[in-house]
Every structure is written in C-alpha cells, then in structure tokens.
Structure 1
Amino acid sequence: MRPFYILLLFLTTIIQIGAQENFVKINGSTNVSSFQCTNSKFKNEAYSFSEKNLPNIILKVTDFDCGNKMMTKDFQKILNAEKYPEMTIKFLNFTRNQKKFLAVVEVKMMNQSRKYNVEFNLENNKMVGRKNVKFSDFNITPPKKMGGMVVVKDDLDLTFSLSTKI
C-alpha cells in the first residue's frame, strides 16, 4: 500500500507543477514557415493581480527556446542577448470588465519600452493574454536569411500565460 501513496504523491506533485507553469511565447513567421519561441524558465509561482501587487516579470533572453538550436541562436542574436540579456514585462494597470480582464503592459527589451493594452482571459487558474506586436516596435529590422530568400515578417504574436491567485 505504501508504494501506492508514494506514486499518488508523485503524480499530485507533477500535476501541480504542470498547472503552475508560466510562459511567454513569441510566434512569428517567414515567407517560408512559422516559428515559436517560448520562455518558461522564470518564476513558477502564482501571480497576484491586485492593484497593489501587479507582476513585474524579468525574462532572460537566453532562456527563450525556439525548438531548433539554429533558430534559437538566431532569435537570441536578433534580440542582442549579449548586450541586452533581459526582457521585462511589467503590468502597469489591471482591471476587470465583466468576464474579461484588461491590462496595460509595458514590454521592455533592448532599451526600448512599449506599452500595450492587453485583454486577458481566466483559463484554468491562469491569466492568458495575447497581443500582436512588431519587431519594428522595438527598432528591430526583421532579419533576412539565405541571401534574402527567407524573410522574417515584422508581425509577432505575443502570448502570456501566468498562474494566478485570483
């Protein structure tokens, strides 16, 4: 019977850890394919979204993973990870509007800051928000590869998924 309890404890721990996984995804595309770079290596805790205690998330650029070593290296090079090792996502304001949550979020990378209005939904105890942004918002020229045959598009989809205490 004891092995059963140990297994049950182990599975419960795994489920709780998986349920609290926080991540930021950046989805983009080229004229050939699409890509997704994810960072889930920051505080794995439940965030508070009260007016007095809004999240300020610091992401290491080198923690983004695009699922392909070469693409990950290129992505980190585009964001100049050596000179600007961190990206910050700071919640400036957060309000509830019926079933939706509205936030003003400041994204800072490469010494450039931009504020965005982001709509969040509560999904399985996580605040999930999506926002279309552009490389050019941060004065980044989308790269070209293979002598210009592969062109990265300026448009990006930013997705936040943060465990919450709401």
Structure 2
Amino acid sequence: MKNKILHLILFLVTGFYFSQQNAVEINGWTNINTFKCINNSFSNSPNVYLFTGNELPNVILKVNDFDCRNRIMTSDFRKTLNSEKYPYLSIKFLNFYRQTTNAFSATVEVKMMNVVKKYTIEFSEYKGSLVGNKRLRFSDFNIVPPKKMGGMVYVKDELDLFFSLAIDKN
C-alpha cells in the first residue's frame, strides 16, 4: 500500500511538472542519494503525437542528450548505457487504449543497448499531454548498476521512467 501511495504522489508531481510539453526523465537511487536524468533535446522538441489508428509514436532518444545535472553523474550514466556503442534508446508504442475519460493504457517496447522489453504503462491526460511512468530495472536490460569507491557507493537496480507526450486532440 505504501508503495502505491508513493507511486501516486510521484505520478501527480510529475504530471504537474510535465504539463503541456514533451519530457523523458529517468530517476534512480544510490545507497546514499537519488539522481534524475532528463533528455534535454526531447524536452525542447515541438513534436505533437497522435494516438489514433496505426499512428502510434516511436520515440527515439539520444543517450548523450540525457543530463543528470551533475557532470560526473551524467558521464557515469552515459557510460553505464554504453552511449558510444549504443547511442539511442527507444520507446515504441505497440498499442494504446482508452480506459476511462482521462485514463489510458499502452503496451510499449523499450529498447536499450539492443535489449528489447515490453511493458504495460498507465497514462493520464493532463493539460494537453499524456503522462505516464514505469518502474524498470537495469537488470531488465542486462546492465550491471555501477559502483564507485570499491563498492561503497552503488546504484540500485530500480529506475523510474517518467514521460510526457504532447498530444494532438483532433
């Protein structure tokens, strides 16, 4: 129950932050702190997405466009995702369904480092954007979370993927 309340709070806060824009954010935890990496190029893009018929989005993100607001953290994030060998991360919508007036469900395919995983994600509409989040794991993509200082500081396996897509209401 506590975990569901935490997800609801994170979803609401993210919904207010991401309203009326495109955004992709990856949040994670170390044993001593948290981190947030935002894809700045996608956040600044004017793209508007359609969710009708066969016109479902395929969002391709450049790994080097993620910024963790800390030079060392950003470098470690890009190195962990092996941005030299795998420069892109993609989120492809396979299907999309309206559940209620303001609630939607989608199956998405996330491709990272040539590993593809499918997830079901719940979305809400908020001020012209669809906002959703999903908890992923580094290990889902065969990635070993990084460690520093001989293992004294380590990144936890879980990541939260938050995103907002500006939509065309027509």
Aligned position for 2:156: 153
Find the partner of 2:104 among 101, 117, 121.
101
Q: 1:19 to 1:132 in 2, by over 3 A?
A: closer
Cα distance between partner residues in 2 of 1:133 and 1:92: 18
Describe the superposition over 1:84-103 as per-residue Cα deviations: whole angstroms up to 9, x where unpaired.
00011100000000131000
Q: 1:121 to 1:19 in 2, by over 3 A?
A: closer
Aligned position for 1:25: 25
- The CA deviation at 1:46 is 1.1
Long gaps (5+) in structure 1: 1-17
Cα distance between partner residues in 2 of 1:21 and 1:129: 13
Q: 1:30 to 1:55 in 2, by over 3 A?
A: same
Pair 1:163-2:157 in alignment: no
Aligned position for 1:53: 55
Aligned position for 1:135: 138
Cα distance between partner residues in 2 of 1:27 and 1:138: 16
Paired residues of 2:20 and 2:126 also in contact (CA < 8 A): no
Q: Please tell me the residue identity of whatever aligns with 2:91.
A: I
Aligned position for 1:35: 35
Cα distance between partner residues in 1 of 2:122 and 2:61: 21
Aligned position for 1:90: 92
Cα distance between partner residues in 1 of 2:131 and 2:40: 14
TM-score (norm 2): 0.84
Q: Give the 4+ runs in structure 1 shifted more than 2 A.
A: 18-21
Find the partner of 2:115 among 102, 112, 116.
112
Q: Please tell me the residue identity of whatever aligns with 2:36.
A: Q
TM-score (norm 1): 0.86
- The CA deviation at 1:20 is 4.8
Find the partner of 1:68 among 57, 67, 70.
70
Pair 1:124-2:127 in alignment: yes
Paired residues of 1:41 and 1:63 also in contact (CA < 8 A): yes
Cα distance between partner residues in 2 of 1:100 and 1:20: 17
Cα distance between partner residues in 2 of 1:122 and 1:21: 12
